[in-house]
Amino acid sequence: MVASLITGNINSYSSYNENDVNQNHLNHEEKNNSNETTTDFINHELSVNLDSSNAFEGPEKLLEIWISPTDSVLPIGCPEKGLRAIPLEGIEQLLDLVNCKILSKISTNELDAYLLSESSLFVYTNRLVLKTCGTTATLLCLSKLQELIIDHLSWPNDNVLKNIYRIFYSRRSFMFPDRQTEIHQSWSNELTWLNKYFPSSTSKAYVVGDLSHDHWYLYLNGVNTQQSNKSSPATSSVSSPRSNSNLENGHIRNGTNGHNNYPISPIVSPKDAIPQFLANRIARENYDGFQMDDSLELLMTELDSESASNFQLSKHENEFPSMDPAHEDYGHLLGHKMMQTTGLDSIFDRMDVNSLKHDAFAFTPCGFSSNSIINEKYYYTLHITPEQGWSYASFETNLPNRNQSFLVNNVIEILKPNKFCLVFVRENLSNSENCLDNLIKFDLNNYTRVDKIVYDLKYDYKLLYSYYERN
């Protein structure tokens, strides 16, 4: 959601309890420590003053960067919190370059989910996912991100991004490409910029779908399996003097008080399956399964007018007459109510969900964004631009889902787009085939699938792209 940004002072951040929000009440405390990133909070000043009257471009740019394959195996010298060790001030500086602000944040022990003035940011120990819409300049954050990793993660060399484990950049075709900043006005411009930071020799770039209609772009790069002994941070940093404290008898020391020890091993590609040292550790700790990378997106246009009207502020005037404007904001209160009344808070099969934590915001004069944390470590996020003529909605989740068809049906039934793209990307492990096959065969009432494209991608990922139109 593009917005006229009002700069939020860090002192306007207030702590926030999700249960209180659902009861139309916010519990606030002054947030005094600008480096604190583990507390849920709302930026009250920005939330009250944000205006999205000039919104026009819904499709997001999606940047995902992994510093290691799991949060248990980090480059030597990294703090236990990994990327989550970057302070709030650093996150804000990075987002300033992109041209967006933090509205609020929810966290668990596994994940920080930031709701932004333009979409979302998710920060794990080992990876970061930045999703921004409008005229944001997503790729302008790369230099700052490298600087933050060096400063706060004790990275063993200054050439961080050249040795990054994985980098994904993707987006749907824009509705108004000429209104983007120069860096994002064309795919070739974006590739040129990405090649400044990541080695072009190991990159892959894909354009998927019908170029005369909606289509999708993907850039993929990272450490090659064959080169991992030479270039992976986990290996190249062994001889680094500042890493010696993390070496004990040929093991990487990681985790609380150094209890999680495992042999030094290069970062490996998923095609080599789970490394033996990880498999042993998983068995020892009785993990209920080792989930690899998994992503499902629905990119929807031409929303049904009645469905879109649910996200117009004019339909929800004076919903909270007892609201305290000094401590509460209409956007978050209404955002949570929109989630509940539309059913967007309950779109998953209950068998897949043990816990849920929601953060949602309704924009002025229209629009909606939400982040939800599932089972402590997965997310789903929705962003809706309901204006007729360029209406758009996106849904994304990384939850390994047993019932993808059920989920897709629920989202489409609520928003009723005339057209949508389904994009599913997953590492090619043995348990991924059934899920992929189910989506390949998936049919939806009242829709015709116009395109179906399956790719075998670099690093042994599989991609399914399907394009649907309403009958």
Q: Which residues pair with 394 in a beta bridge?
A: 299, 383
Give CB contacts under 8 A, 24+ apart, made by 196-201: 197/142, 197/143, 197/146, 197/161, 197/162, 198/161, 198/162, 198/164, 198/167, 199/162
DSSP notation for 194-251: HHHHS-GGG-EEEEEE-TTS-EEEEEEEE--TTTHHHH-HHHHTTT-GGGGGGEETTE
Catalytic residue, from 45, 47, 104, 133: name it. Answer: 133
Gap between the Cα atoms of 92 and 150, Å rounded: 17
For the domain 10-225+291-470, what is the CATH superfamily, name and number? S-adenosylmethionine decarboxylase (3.60.90.10)
- The per-residue pLDDT for 403 is 85
CB–CB of 68/174 below 8 Å? no
Q: What is the distance in angstroms between the CA of the first residue and the CA of the last residue of the chain?
A: 29
Catalytic residue, from 28, 44, 47, 57: name it. Answer: 57
Every domain of the chain and the residues it spans? 10-225+291-470
- The per-residue pLDDT for 30 is 35
Active site residue 60: yes
Catalytic residue, from 52, 107, 117, 119: name it. Answer: 119
Length reported for the chain: 471
Catalytic residue, from 14, 28, 47, 60: name it. Answer: 60
User: In terms of C-beta density within 10 A (0-12 exposed, 13-18 middle, 19 or more buried), how is residue 72 classed?
Assistant: middle
- The per-residue pLDDT for 238 is 28
Catalytic residue, from 369, 370, 394, 466: name it. Answer: 369
Gap between the Cα atoms of 110 and 261, Å rounded: 20
Give CB contacts under 8 A, 24+ apart, made by 277-282: 278/70, 278/72, 278/73, 281/72
Active site residue 141: no
- The per-residue pLDDT for 363 is 93
Task: Dig out the tokens for 338 from the structure.
Answer: 């929109």
Residue with tokens 């699938």: 449
Kindly give the confidence (pLDDT) of every residue in the chain, 471 residues in length, as a single tens digit, with 9 standing for 90 and above. 433 333 333 334 455 454 444 433 333 333 334 344 457 889 988 888 877 666 566 889 999 999 999 888 888 888 999 999 999 999 999 999 999 999 999 999 999 999 999 999 999 999 999 999 988 999 999 999 999 999 999 887 777 888 899 999 999 998 888 889 999 999 999 999 999 999 999 999 999 999 888 899 999 999 864 333 333 333 333 223 233 333 333 333 333 333 332 222 223 333 333 344 334 433 333 334 445 688 999 999 999 999 999 999 988 988 899 988 888 899 999 999 999 999 999 999 998 899 999 999 999 999 999 999 999 999 999 999 999 888 999 999 999 877 889 999 999 999 999 999 999 999 876 555 677 888 888 889 999 999 999 999 988 899 999 999 999
Task: Dig out the tokens for 297 from the structure.
Answer: 């997106």
Residue 345, φ and ψ in degrees, nearest 5: -90, 0
Q: Which residues pair with 442 in a beta bridge?
A: none
Beta strands in 70-203 (DSSP E): 102-107, 112-116, 119-123, 127-132, 166-172
Catalytic residue, from 120, 383, 391, 466: name it. Answer: 383
Gap between the Cα atoms of 176 and 59, Å rounded: 10
pTM: 0.81
Gap between the Cα atoms of 188 and 249, Å rounded: 48
Per-state percent for the chain, helix, strand, coil, to nearest 5: 30, 30, 40
- The per-residue pLDDT for 309 is 95
Active site residue 118: no
Residue 396, φ and ψ in degrees, nearest 5: -145, 145
User: In terms of C-beta density within 10 A (0-12 exposed, 13-18 middle, 19 or more buried), how is residue 242 classed?
Assistant: exposed
CB–CB of 115/336 below 8 Å? no
Gap between the Cα atoms of 290 and 431, Å rounded: 11
CB–CB of 216/421 below 8 Å? yes
Angle (deg, nearest 10), helices 432-440 and 404-415: 40
- The per-residue pLDDT for 232 is 36
CB–CB of 410/347 below 8 Å? yes
